[in-house]
Amino acid sequence: MANSNLIAELQSRGLVAQMSSEDELMEHLEKGSVTLYCGFDPTADSLHIGSLVPLLTLRRFQDYGHKPLALVGGATGLIGDPSFKAQERKLNDDSTVAGWVDKLKAQVSQFISFDNGNNSAEVVNNLDWTRGMDVLSFLRDVGKHFSVNSMIAKESVKQRIDREGSGISFTEFTYMILQSFDFQQLNKSHGCTLQIGGSDQWGNITGGIELSRRMNGNQVFGITLPLVTKSDGTKFGKTESGTIWLDATKTSPYAFYQFWMSTADADVYKFLRYFTFLDVERIAEIEEEDKAAVGRPQAQGVLAEEVTRLVHGNDAVEAAKRITESLFSGDISQLSEADFEQLKQDGLPATQVPGDLSDTPLTTLLVDAGMANSGKQIKDALQRDAVIVNDRACGMSDNMSGNEIFSTEAGLFGKYFLVKLGKKKHHLFYL
């Protein structure tokens, strides 16, 4: 069951950034099922793909027989983690955070199994053990174990302390103590001996290791996962249309699938190792095949399919693939009336054409539908023949002729208009 191959596997996937007491940890993992935890703070009403790596790693541990605890930060979410953040964050009020906690619990639960014998997962909330604690006990029992000198020295808050024009409040500075306390508590109540987290969490994790040793007399461990970076240096997980969320109502499965489809070649094999459960050998094979082949690699398709399946399930993958195929195959005349209906169902963004367009320029219409942020962008596209309605390029001269373009006669099957803006943005209009 439990064995050290897990660490070997994680390492071969590039998933280990740092480990505490490496040899002892290996030994510890070999002895049997270990209880480990990873925390997720409610900073929004959904997790985004940044949390995917730790989430999937919990699952990897569970697959090797260990028991994962997903900690939702009902308490820490009220404080805000300052680690490597350039600025103090504004506090969210507690009813908001409480609402987010519930959503995160549900999301987190998709990835780990709660019906797995004695290594079934559990979801815990750190508000449960911090809520009732009074200030004096906190300061005397917990705070006493922390040296401000060493806290200030942590890399994670360094820029906040050193950098001109920034600062850190006592509230955020205390975050480290709260998270350390979580680890110590879970060690005591659940026998939890390992914490995993992003590499930005190293300082907070080591704090917890210290505290568990001092308060519980137990040796516990930490592993951090690499920060996901892109080869071009831009931030992973964000596009102009915003963050890629795990919640299907915030980022549609189709958009989610597309996000992974446009992964750069330079990143895609790394991402396959991070974000999928495919064997490293299989991933290496894919890479070899792509290298040998001419043209577009298959890796992005595999990645998109695997990750979308993990997050949104099989049906969503099928739907996303259907849409992708019809839109990017280049031949929309192949689509049947039922296909259009299906596209709508599958989550291709769709808008009903308003009754009279004589006063509505295309710019306004497309901006209202959410295809661009301003009319200027549409104007730019129109001038470059980059707005395609049912395979017909529209120019600036068509701007005011919405009524003709979106007429019953012009529509496919009398009512559908597939509008393409640029190479990648598609939107379905219907009468």
Catalog residues that contact RNA under the rule CB under 7 A: 88, 164-169, 231-234, 238-241, 258, 261-266, 295-297, 300, 324, 328, 361, 363-364, 367, 372-377, 379-381, 384, 386, 399, 421-425
Q: Which residue has tokens 């192949």?
A: 334
Question: In this complex, which beta carbon is closest to RNA, that of residue 75 or of residue 421?
Answer: 421
Residue 6 or 371 having the CB closest to RNA: 371
Which CB, 69 or 261, lies closer to RNA?
A: 261
Residue type, 238: K
CB contact at 8 A, 199 and 164: no
Kindly state the smallest distance separating residue 378's Cβ from RNA, in Å.
7
To RNA, the closest distance from the beta carbon of 369 in angstroms equals 13
Q: Which is nearer to RNA, 232 or 409 (CB)?
A: 232
**207 token code pair:** 């704090």
For the bound state, the minimum distance from the C-beta of residue 131 to RNA, rounded and expressed in Å, comes to 26
In order, the DSSP letters of 105-131 are HHHHHTTS-S-SGGG--EEEETHHHHT
Nearest approach in angstroms of CB 163 to RNA is 8
Judge whether 18 and 156 are in contact, CB under 8 Å: no
CA dist 263 and 382 (Å) reads 27
Closest separation in Å from C-beta 74 to RNA: 25
DSSP string, 326-345: HHHSS-GGG--HHHHHHHHH
Distance (Å, whole) CA 4 – CA 146? 33
- Amino acid, res. 405: I
Q: Which is nearer to RNA, 144 or 296 (CB)?
A: 296
Amino acid (1-letter code) at residue 205: I
> With respect to RNA, which residue has the nearer C-beta, 182 or 290?
290
Quote the least distance from Cβ 194 to RNA, whole Å: 35
* Helix (H/G/I), strand (E/B), else coil: 239: strand
Task: Classify residue 408 by burial, with Cβ atoms within 10 Å: 0-12, 13-18, 19+.
Answer: exposed
When the beta carbons of 40 and 271 are compared against RNA, the nearer one is: 271
Partner residues linked to 421 by β-bridges: 387, 425
Q: Least distance to RNA from the beta carbon of 363, Å?
A: 4
